[in-house]
Amino acid sequence: MKLSTLKGLSPLLLAFATLLDKANLARADNPFVQTLFTADPAPIVHNDRIYVFTTHDEDGATTYNMKDWRLYSSSDMANWQDHGVMMSLATFSWANANAWAGQVIARNGKFYFYVPVRRNTGSMAIGVGVSDNITGPYRDALGRPLVDNNEIDPSVFIDDDGQAYLYWGNPGLAYVRLNQDMISYSGGINKVTLTTQGFGTRNGNAQRPTMYEEGPWLSKRGSTYYMTYAANCCSEDIRYSTGPSATGPWTYRGLVMATEGRSFTNHPAIIDYKGNSYFFYHNGALPGGNGYQRSVAVERFQYNSDGSIPTMRMTTAGPPQIGTLNPYVRQEAETMAFSSGLKTEVCSEGGMSVGFIENNDYIKLKGVAFNNGARSFTARVSSATSGGRIELRLGNVNGNLVGTCNVSGTGSWTNWTTINCSVNNASGTQDLFLKFVGGSGYLFNINWWQFSQ
Given a cut of 70, whether residue 272 has pLDDT beyond it is yes
pLDDT in tens, 45-82: 999 999 999 999 999 999 999 999 999 999 999 999 99
Q: Which domains does the chain have, with CATH numbers?
A: 38-301 (2.115.10.20), 331-452 (2.60.120.260)
Provide CB contacts within 8 A for 61, sequence distance 6+: 292, 293
Given a cut of 70, whether residue 3 has pLDDT beyond it is no
Q: Which string of DSSP letters, residue by residue, matches 139-202?
A: EESSSS-SB--S----EEEE-TTS-EEEEE-SSS-EEEEE-TTSS-EEEEEEEPP--HHHH-B-
Given a cut of 70, whether residue 7 has pLDDT beyond it is no
Rounded CA-CA distance 233/418 in Å is 52
Q: Which string of DSSP letters, residue by residue, matches 43-80?
A: EEEETTEEEEEEEEEPTT-SS----EEEEEEESSSSSE
Q: Is position 332 annotated as part of the catalytic site?
A: no
Rounded CA-CA distance 304/25 in Å is 30
Neighbours of 18 (CB within 10 A): 14
Mean pLDDT, residues 391-402 taken together: 98
Check: CB of residue 309 under 8 Å from CB of residue 253: yes
pLDDT in tens, 342-368: 999 999 999 999 999 999 999 999 999
Cα–Cα distance list, 206 to 171, 183, 201, 235 (Å):
13, 37, 11, 18
Q: Which string of DSSP letters, residue by residue, matches 276-343?
A: EEEEEEEE--STT-BTTB-EEEEEEE---TTSPPPPB---SS-SPP-S-B-TTS-EETTEESEEES-E
Catalytic residue, candidates 29, 40, 237, 358: 40
pLDDT in tens, 397-412: 999 999 999 999 999 9
Provide CB contacts within 8 A for 23, sequence distance 6+: none
pLDDT in tens, 300-316: 999 999 999 999 999 99
pLDDT value, residue 193:
98
Rounded CA-CA distance 240/217 in Å is 9
Given a cut of 70, whether residue 157 has pLDDT beyond it is yes
Rounded CA-CA distance 132/112 in Å is 9
Q: How confident is the model at residue 23 (pLDDT cuts 50, 70, 90)?
A: very low
pTM > 0.85: yes
Given a cut of 80, whether residue 14 has pLDDT beyond it is no
pLDDT value, residue 9:
44
Q: How confident is the model at residue 26 (pLDDT cuts 50, 70, 90)?
A: very low
Would you call 91 helix, strand, or coil by DSSP?
helix
Rounded CA-CA distance 384/404 in Å is 20
Rounded CA-CA distance 321/323 in Å is 6
Residue-averaged pLDDT of the chain? 94
Given a cut of 50, whether residue 191 has pLDDT beyond it is yes
Catalytic residue, candidates 57, 153, 214, 391: 214
Rounded CA-CA distance 149/151 in Å is 5
pLDDT value, residue 28:
64
Provide CB contacts within 8 A for 353, sequence distance 6+: 333, 334, 344, 345, 346, 347, 445, 446, 447
Q: Is position 40 annotated as part of the catalytic site?
A: yes
pLDDT value, residue 308:
98
Mean pLDDT, residues 37-45 taken together: 98
Mean pLDDT, residues 164-180 taken together: 98
pLDDT value, residue 15:
44
Rounded CA-CA distance 11/360 in Å is 10
pLDDT in tens, 277-303: 999 999 999 999 999 999 999 999 999
Mean pLDDT, residues 411-419 taken together: 98
pLDDT in tens, 317-335: 999 999 999 999 999 999 9
What percent of the chain has pLDDT above 90?
93
For residue 70, give the nearest of 46, 107, 42 by alpha carbon.
Answer: 42
